[in-house]
Amino acid sequence: MFPALECSYSGFQLFFNYSTTRVLKFIKVLKVFARKVKSFLKQPVLTKLGFIPCWFLLGIARWVTLKIPFARIAPKLGTHVGVAPWIPILTREQEQKALILGRLVRLTARYTPWDSNCLPQAIVARSLLGLYHIPYALCFGLMFDPDTHEMKAHAWVATGRIQVVGGNSFSQFTVVGCFVDPRFENIELQG
């Protein structure tokens, strides 16, 4: 009898259901955001202060790895010591700071809209360790994956007993290059 009225009622019901769904999704996003803010506020002061600069550094490192040839990046990574990986010994304070810096880089890498894989993380970790005068070893490794029949490359930074970024990769990857803090370039390796 009144087809226009029936259409408008159906349209209103559709709009109401759509609006309710959007509101519920928005509330869910707000809850996740509140949880993440609460978690962020529990982080150490260095992490809170360093999150945004580290985010930008990861972006710059990602851009550099995509646009600049590795031959031009390599001299900035430290002194190349070949394939003999060695880890500098740290004081307790340096270890604590390296641990916090590693957590900062790994945490920040999860919140970048670009792919912050191992190489940008290693470059940023190396830069932050150098800024705080903490000796480091940045290593590159290769591994053959028997499942996919492909070679996999990885970069990681280690210092003292701390695996700053990249995890405990010495056991999984064959080291093909290692860069150390330039302050240690004149130290002879004993073995």
CA gap 131, 183 in Å, rounded:
13
- State the pLDDT at residue 17: 59
Q: What are the DSSP E strand ranges found in the chain? A: 79-80, 137-145, 150-159, 162-165, 174-180
- State the pLDDT at residue 16: 54
- State the pLDDT at residue 124: 97
- State the pLDDT at residue 152: 93
- State the pLDDT at residue 185: 60
Residue 51: CB atoms within 10 Å: 15
The residues facing 163 across adjacent strands are 158
- State the pLDDT at residue 5: 45
- The number of distinct structural domains making up the chain is 1
CA gap 26, 22 in Å, rounded:
6
- Give the torsion sign (CA, 171, 68, 115, 137): positive
Domain span including residue 142: 43-180
153 domain residue, yes or no: yes
48 domain residue, yes or no: yes
- State the pLDDT at residue 157: 94
The whole-model pTM stands at: 0.76
For 108-126, b/e burial (b = at least 16 CB within 10 A) is: bbeeeeeebebbbbbbbbb
What are the 10-residue block averages of pLDDT along the chain, 191 residues in total? 48 57 83 85 84 94 95 92 81 93 93 92 95 93 90 92 87 90 63 43
- State the pLDDT at residue 4: 47
149 domain residue, yes or no: yes
167 domain residue, yes or no: yes
